[in-house]
Structure 1
Amino acid sequence: MLIDELHAELGRQGHPDLRPMHGFVLQAIGGSGCTAVELGRTLGVSKQAAGKTIETLERLGYVVSARDPQDSRKKIARISERGWDALRRSAEIFDRLRAGWAETLGEERLRALESDLRKVTPADPWRLDVPGWFST
């Protein structure tokens, strides 16, 4: 529900094509950029799946790719200004939605809920090996 609300609002704010898994990918690419091999390793998917996702995000304008100046065989994917805008807006939207939950549940209860959820989720948050997450 939270993710659905976040993406509905993100769509209204100019990012209708961004999907939940795209946010994970943009965060994994990070400020330094990465290759498809590195992205695949971080996310626990094949180089091919990572490369296809980079291509999709590039086509949508969230990522730009260029040859690595130190090794022309490699392409480095970097977050574009549109991608940074989407990440900034996502963080702002999430903060507003969380504030609404805090108002409804109370801040102390929400913190306890977040703590409980951390206890039952995997320590490795990047494993995205669920079929279909990387389809366009």
Structure 2
Amino acid sequence: MRRSERKRRKPDLGILAGRLLFAVQDELFDTLARQGHPNLRPQHGAVLAYLDVEGSRATNLARQSGQHKQVVGKLIDELEALGYVERRPDPSDRRAKLVAPTPLGLDQMTRADAILAAIEHRHAQALGADGYAHFKRLLQEVTDRQRAWRS
């Protein structure tokens, strides 16, 4: 049996995780585009998914998303040009900058939360609330264990 055929029939963890990520991103960003946010791309999620309403430091966004600081910096530049975030002084350290959502960014965050809640609700209905909660616990455990590998 060819490798590609075997991977199609019995996908490994990386393939399954990638398929899930891309499918969720596709639905999220397609729906956001229809709701007035057509310029966002899945890559912007490395910033937007971790951005606090009161603002976040770029270094924290990079650490949380697992992206390099340079990548996150480029994404912040793009999101700033699109009007989703702004840089402002960090009140706890005037030398540092916070990346904070603008009103457009807050709208996107609210809509993204609702879209993701609907996706999760749909899966919970299909699998049953207990089954879906169990799946998420196991997925979190596998994710935590895999991330600990680098530590």
Letter in 2 for 1:119: E
Report Cα offsets for 1:3-62 as digits up to 9, x if no partner: 321221111111122233423413433133234344445445444333222111101111
Report Cα offsets for 1:68-118 as digits up to 9, x if no partner: 5763x5443211111111111011111112221122222121111111111
Aligned with residue 76 of structure 2, among 42, 54, 59: 54
8 Å Cα contact 1:23/1:87 also seen in 2: no
Question: What SS does the aligned partner of 1:122 have?
Answer: helix
Q: Distance in 2 between matches of 1:124 and 1:86?
A: 30
Task: Name the structure with the higher helix share.
Answer: 2
Q: Kindly report the root-mean-square deviation, in angstroms, between the aligned alpha carbons of the 2 structures.
A: 2.6
Question: What SS does the aligned partner of 1:29 have?
Answer: coil
Aligned with residue 31 of structure 1, among 30, 46, 53: 53
Residue matched to 2:135: 113
Report runs of 4+ in structure 1 exceeding 6 Å deviation. Answer: none
Q: Distance in 1 between matches of 2:62 and 2:32?
A: 26
Residue matched to 1:13: 35
Percent identical among aligned pairs is: 37
Aligned with residue 103 of structure 2, among 81, 85, 90: 81
Residue matched to 2:87: 65
Q: Distance in 1 between matches of 2:125 and 2:51?
A: 33
Q: Distance in 1 between matches of 2:73 and 2:53?
A: 18
- What is the TM-score normalised by the length of structure 2? 0.66
* Structure with higher RCO (Cα < 8 A, 6+ apart): 1
Structure 1 regions of 5+ residues with no counterpart?
Answer: 126-136
Letter in 2 for 1:81: P
- What is the TM-score normalised by the length of structure 1? 0.72
- Equivalent pairs, count: 124
Question: What SS does the aligned partner of 1:65 have?
Answer: strand
